[in-house]
Amino acid sequence: MKILVLNAGSSTQKSCLYEVKGDSLPSSPPKPLWEGKVDWSHQQGVAEIEVETSAGENLTEEIATDSQSEIMTRLLNTISNGSTKVINQLSEIDVVGHRVVHGGKYYRESVVITQEVKDAIANLANLAPAHNPANLAGIEAGEKILGEVKQVAVFDTAFHRSIPDAAVIYPGPYEWVEQDIIRYGFHGISHQYCAERTADILGKDLQSLRIITCHLGNGCSLAAIKNGRSIDTTMGFTPLDGLMMGSRSGSVDPGILIYLLEQKICTVKDLDNLLNKASGLSGISGISSDMRQIKAAISQGNQRAQLAYDIYVHRLRSSIGAMLASLGGLDALVFTGGIGENASGIRQAACEAFEFLGIQIDVVKNMNKPVDKDITTSDSPIKALVIHTQEDWQIARECYRLLES
């Protein structure tokens, strides 16, 4: 089965073509036959295209256009033409999987795309204005170019629809529930992939494991996973809730926001910018949203950078504790995302807070740039793992499961 994955954003797009041979999915992620990236954020009206194949062929070019359909036509053309050709014609593709950020309360799992599904994605644009319209544009462009090839929507929120009401519903007026103002959670594709990969690495049945997955990148969230299902998470109605992030505040006392508005210190638009783009690591340090630059500043004695780091670790530890309480125990603590996969000090600091549970980090393993590895000692009753999240492969797996079911 040949599976094309399209991850369309507002200013970038990533695409992969996978081939699944045989009657089952491989136990570890395969290398894509073809990978394509489009970035039109650097220069208005110009799309930068990068293509790479598993055979090592590369292509880089620029196209002067704003048309997503035209860009995608050119990108997908490289799959079956020129030096980056990996198949003879696009009709060989069996299914296309699309990442869709928000599925609202309607979608608990991936679905074959119909007009009804497209209408729902469009209607949910008010909950994800920076993402759902771009996701829908990618779907419609895919339909136009690939004709009758089956299209599948894989929702970033779907994995968290198993969370019980007590964790989903906010303690405001019940009318919020009727207005669909609830905890949705995000990064679901990544959390699901990491949970399944954890079971593979440990050689355990996913249904038997209690896992906390820590997706730590510029955006950050945790998920508590029991019996293979999400039962709690830190992001909420929007991706602004929960952990301290690169430029997002995470959870703050809502009374602060009321105060800022009442005192006319901020407008609503100011608050949006403040909380999403001028807070977190960037806001506290005054330096950067990049943890690498924060660490570099700390090494030079910058106290605000140290404070940003300390708040980040404190918030992470506290939230892991909350997820632990929801699970009632823990078998594996998983780190993924740019910070989770690369910041050994963050992993060490997070785990040290739970040494009383018996978790024991192997310092050498932790420092040795682990990928898809357990970083604890052999006698640690709780395992800590570093997993390279592969959301594109998870989308491909969802497509395979849906078509084979």
Q: Could you report the per-residue pLDDT of 189-247, keeping only the tens digit for each?
A: 999 999 999 999 999 999 999 999 999 999 999 999 999 999 999 999 999 999 999 99
The SS3 call for residue 101 is coil
The pTM assigned to this predicted structure is 0.94
Sign of CA dihedral 258, 263, 269, 272: negative
Q: Which residues of the chain form CATH 3.30.420.40?
A: 2-155, 204-391
d(CA 312, CA 315): 5
Residues that are catalytic: 156
d(CA 79, CA 53): 9
CA distances from 167 to 56, 115, 229, 245, 276 (A): 47, 32, 14, 22, 24
Q: Which residues of 282-300 are buried (b: 16+ CB within 10 A; e: fewer)?
A: bbbbebbbbbeebeebbee
CATH dotted code for 204-391: 3.30.420.40
pLDDT of residue 325: 98
pLDDT of residue 123: 94
Query: Would you identify the CATH topology of the domain 2-155?
Result: Nucleotidyltransferase; domain 5 (3.30.420)
| Beta carbons of 71 and 79 less than 8 angstroms apart | no
pLDDT of residue 28: 87
Q: Could you report the per-residue pLDDT of 270-283, keeping only the tens digit for each?
A: 999 999 999 999 99
Q: Which residue has the tokens 């198949």?
A: 87
pLDDT of residue 22: 85
Q: Could you report the per-residue pLDDT of 91-126, keeping only the tens digit for each?
A: 999 999 999 999 999 899 999 999 999 999 999 999
d(CA 169, CA 184): 10
| Length reported for the chain | 405
d(CA 99, CA 235): 18
Query: 398: closest CA among 118, 196, 111?
Result: 111
pLDDT of residue 333: 98
| Beta carbons of 372 and 196 less than 8 angstroms apart | no
The amino acid that residue 395 corresponds to is: I
User: Facing residues of 220 across strands?
Assistant: 216
pLDDT of residue 23: 86
Q: Please give the helix or strand (H or E) that residue 64 lies within, else none.
A: strand 58-64
Q: How much of the chain, in percent, has pLDDT values that exceed 70?
A: 100
For residue 46, count other CB atoms closer than 10 A to its CB: 14
Helix, strand, coil percentages, rounded to 5, for the chain:
45, 20, 35
pLDDT of residue 219: 93
Residue 353: HSE in the Cβ half-sphere, 13 Å Cα cutoff: 17
pLDDT of residue 360: 97
Pairing of strands 95-100, 2-8: parallel
pLDDT of residue 320: 98
Mean pLDDT of successive 10-residue segments in the chain (405 residues)?
89 92 89 94 87 96 86 93 96 96 93 96 90 90 91 97 98 97 97 97 97 96 98 96 97 97 94 95 97 98 98 98 98 98 98 97 97 97 97 96 89
